[in-house]
Structure 1
């Protein structure tokens, strides 16, 4: 076991993965880990995950040459990780109709959304590398399907993975197999990540150009509509609010009466935010009210989607109140958004809301309340597990 622990990809591994690597059952693996822990050979975190690190890890990797079954153990571990992504991704796949059933992988059973989330977070230092090895092995269709199914996990947990690199990986695989629809959508989503996590408008615009060129060869309103919505995000980042609003209107016209609700909701929220930036607050609040009513009517396909939408609505409303000088309404909107949002723990949008509320408290002369919000905001951004691009 000691040598094979070095096959993990640079971080902690769950006891299930340790058992797969070592060829032991979980109970026996736990007993061996306890023995190794008592000798300070392995580190066990508060969640029971295991890591061999430092010089001990280097020595373990050197000893792998003496294990003739090491490569077979890694293959078994990758099979476990890929099947886990497939099982967990089913809970996040939303409107996707793609299936991994024909991709030559056994899909394990995870019985709940919470269980799927827990698995993806627990093995989160290992499964991205398994996807990279799958691509190197030529399993491009599998890579595209699995990463595409993680779209909503990425939206709900944006601070927990290098999503830009993973989406670049999937886009490359989509290009190799000639799947233009996925190639276009993955580049659109890549642009969204570039704006959200790196504030890199030029790189996002380049990704959108690639997506638009691919989408032009496809039928269906979602491709160009989604592209126009994301171009509105680029315009918002650049301060070109009127142009962004035109992109939102173009997106809504392209989407028409499509039955996939996520792009429509996103676009209308973006439109409201741009209206706030332009000082057209009554129109913005009307837009927000209509979107809120629409969310209440819909049976959205992924748990927590509605919570994320509603928190973003509150963020935009708070910005509008603050711009109009109604600081108490701004505080109330932020407080309502923060209450009961433990399921979005650590999400960057909550940091934005804390910052907005803290600024409003400060301008109201409520220094103690402002200090608490600013302190909580700082704790989010300096945490190594939250928004890694900003805490580096």
Structure 2
């Protein structure tokens, strides 16, 4: 059985045992759905306790048991680095109880919304632990048949230090609803337009959980139906317009007792005992659930024993009957069942910076192997103190994190806590540097090993940087706060090349703002020039805030000039020209574009000089000075192709593509059709590194125009049809409409022919 995947192995073992799926699920004590997911491969791994239960139910010998455990572990490891973008709706609680009136209200909102009207929205409010998320998921699950295009769930991190911004929220929704959308404009207004285009006409449900403010919700609202948005929040969000509000109250006694009986079905208890337990839990759903799990898990205790335990502790009684402390008492019921090591890990996980983490982080805060950390996390998950998340990660409920932090203050030595925090911060920042180095153009750069990770390729590096973005950014912000300035600069520098590969993240301006401030604290003019330049880039290309981009570029030039660093002076002028061009300030852009060329030449910078020449050519073309533009671009191509002046190969490749793309643009303006075709042909030559689709669209569009003027209409049609496919895959409706119009106007075309391309 060596090497066999978990799904086929489990299915084969079940068949060999002559058991149905339902029989095995019942015997092992797992749900039918969980077992079905494992056998279908929908879940590639399983918790250690689940595998042990299945092995017991199948009566496996030691060899088969070890093979099954190994297959499950391999599945978990394969999923660790995955960056799922699907935002799946969590499974509804199998024992969901009550809330009939609230579910009917949400159903009525959907039923009474006319087709084509504004997208209906429901806001679920209530105190922590009241069951807001459970109700939202239950409602979305029940309404699923009415919304066949998908259900999506996003945690807006309303209690985090950095709640999800509207821009990041929209980027995640766009990627989930339309994975082929590709890149999109970074400004909120533009991303909003893309989101409304992507969601238009789709029958989807969006659950926005734990909202921090009205801006998050407004951003995610599709312009019209037939979508449905369900929002949960501790806050009233009174500024929201046109929402139907559902305010939750504690359970009625009947509902609380029913839920307790359902959870503790294997531990029968009397009606009176269940009523009293519900009363001590203040009928709060989360407290009821924790108490019920406690009752069900203690096979050696009866309900009366648990009631006596709660009755003896006045602190718990007061906590269960007063505000948020009710939740803390409920958490304590599970916390006290943990092993000593489990308790310590639970407390220390509260030091993480992001909403989720994986086993590698658990292995850092509580030193152990990653495999041991996975098993330790299983204990916390089983007791409901952590929730499983995508990519075999775990997440804290916001209030659970607060509870864990309180226990950390109570039970841990402050010096130990400081040591753990320092170890975690250093590990995150060390790993960030190693991951970022995979994107350095110099392939010979040394990449040290980092404990607990398997970053052995650019793809693995990108997956880790994205999965742990909240954590490493939090560590970076903390390093800045404690004055570890050189560390902040080193981390930001390591991410400089990677940032080009994740333009849509939305926080690069914060990263480089931190590094710019750190460089200032170090009183290093060259570092200030470098990182202010990066900050200018982030405002230009990630936020489209060109005024700010220009302002930071000017500051970068000041420090570069004071340091006498011609290379950084050149980059500062390049960033400034980039900031001015999108504002149609062509004449103003000409001087910094020329200066950048002069400074790069003086510095002998092989990478920067060709790019500066292309940038100068772009400015000259915008001014209508086409011959001068071609001279600058051809000079860049000469430098890139001459071994004596060529930059590193990876940079030379993309610089060459950029140069030919700009040259083709100029040739089109000059009506030099053959030369335009030649430039595009050269840029599109096969290479081991694919050309980004945006560049392909521009290149093919220009070549199609040249072909049309040359009378080669079939070739023009081929290029335009390729462009149309790329635009449709990216859901670029405006671009696709323009391309269809161009197709219709090709000689020999008619409306039917053009439509058939779509």
Aligned counterpart, 2:364: 20
Change (3 A) 1:174 1:152: same
Change (3 A) 1:324 1:143: same
Greater RCO, 1 or 2 (C-alpha within 8 Å, sep 6+): 1
Q: Answer whether contact 2:573 2:592 (CA < 8 A) is retained.
A: yes
Instruction: Tell me by how many angstroms 1:90 deviates.
Output: 4.5
Distance 1:334 1:353 in 2: 12
SS of the equivalent of 1:276 reads: helix
Aligned counterpart, 1:354: 697
SS of the equivalent of 1:275 reads: helix
The C-alpha deviation readout for 1:184-214, integer Å capped at 9, x for no partner, is: 2211221122111222222122212322332
Instruction: Tell me by how many angstroms 1:27 deviates.
Output: 0.5
Q: Answer whether contact 2:663 2:679 (CA < 8 A) is retained.
A: no
Change (3 A) 1:14 1:236: same
Instruction: Tell me by how many angstroms 1:246 deviates.
Output: 3.1
**Equivalence map 1:254-265=2 (5 Å):** 254-265=599-610
1:224 aligns with 2:565: no
Distance 1:120 1:163 in 2: 13
Aligned counterpart, 1:312: 658
Distance 1:38 1:306 in 2: 53
Change (3 A) 1:199 1:333: farther
The C-alpha deviation readout for 1:288-341, integer Å capped at 9, x for no partner, is: 44434533436756x843444344335434544554575994995698289754
Q: Which residue of 373, 386, 390 corresponds with 2:726? A: 373
Change (3 A) 1:261 1:331: closer
Give ranges in structure 1 of 5+ residues lacking alignment: 100-105, 380-392
Change (3 A) 1:31 1:375: farther
Q: Answer whether contact 1:268 1:291 (CA < 8 A) is retained.
A: yes
Change (3 A) 1:155 1:260: farther
Instruction: Give the 4+ runs in structure 1 shifted more than 6 A.
Output: 358-363
Q: Answer whether contact 2:597 2:609 (CA < 8 A) is retained.
A: yes
Aligned counterpart, 1:215: 560
Deviating more after overlay: 248-257 vs 367-376: 367-376
Aligned counterpart, 2:586: 241
Q: Answer whether contact 1:33 1:42 (CA < 8 A) is retained.
A: no
1:251 aligns with 2:596: yes
Name the TM-score, length of structure 1 as normaliser: 0.75
Change (3 A) 1:111 1:356: closer
Backbone CA RMSD of aligned residues:
3.9
Change (3 A) 1:283 1:212: closer
Q: Answer whether contact 1:269 1:287 (CA < 8 A) is retained.
A: yes
**Equivalence map 1:178-193=2 (5 Å):** 178-193=523-538
Aligned counterpart, 1:62: 403
SS of the equivalent of 1:23 reads: coil
Instruction: Tell me by how many angstroms 1:36 deviates.
Output: 5.4
Distance 1:6 1:310 in 2: 49
Over alpha carbons, which structure has the higher Rg? 2
Name the TM-score, length of structure 2 as normaliser: 0.42
Aligned counterpart, 1:336: 684
Change (3 A) 1:333 1:6: farther
SS of the equivalent of 1:43 reads: strand
Aligned counterpart, 1:85: 432
The C-alpha deviation readout for 1:257-279, integer Å capped at 9, x for no partner, is: 42332321321121222233234
Number of aligned residue pairs: 361
Q: Answer whether contact 2:664 2:702 (CA < 8 A) is retained.
A: no
Change (3 A) 1:192 1:23: same
The C-alpha deviation readout for 1:237-287, integer Å capped at 9, x for no partner, is: 222334423322222223334233232132112122223323444544454
1:171 aligns with 2:516: yes
Change (3 A) 1:357 1:213: same
Change (3 A) 1:66 1:177: same
Instruction: Tell me by how many angstroms 1:58 deviates.
Output: 2.4
1:153 aligns with 2:498: yes
**Equivalence map 1:276-315=2 (5 Å):** 276-296=621-641, 297=643, 300=647, 304-315=650-661
Distance 2:667 2:584 in 1: 20
Q: Which residue of 370, 394, 398 corresponds with 1:51? A: 394
Give ranges in structure 2 of 5+ residues lacking alignment: 1-344, 709-715, 733-758
Q: Which residue of 128, 131, 134 corresponds with 2:476? A: 131
**Equivalence map 1:98-137=2 (5 Å):** 108=450, 114=458, 116-137=461-482
Aligned counterpart, 1:73: 420
Aligned counterpart, 2:158: none
Change (3 A) 1:11 1:275: farther
SS of the equivalent of 1:51 reads: strand
Deviating more after overlay: 133-142 vs 354-363: 354-363
Distance 2:587 2:613 in 1: 15
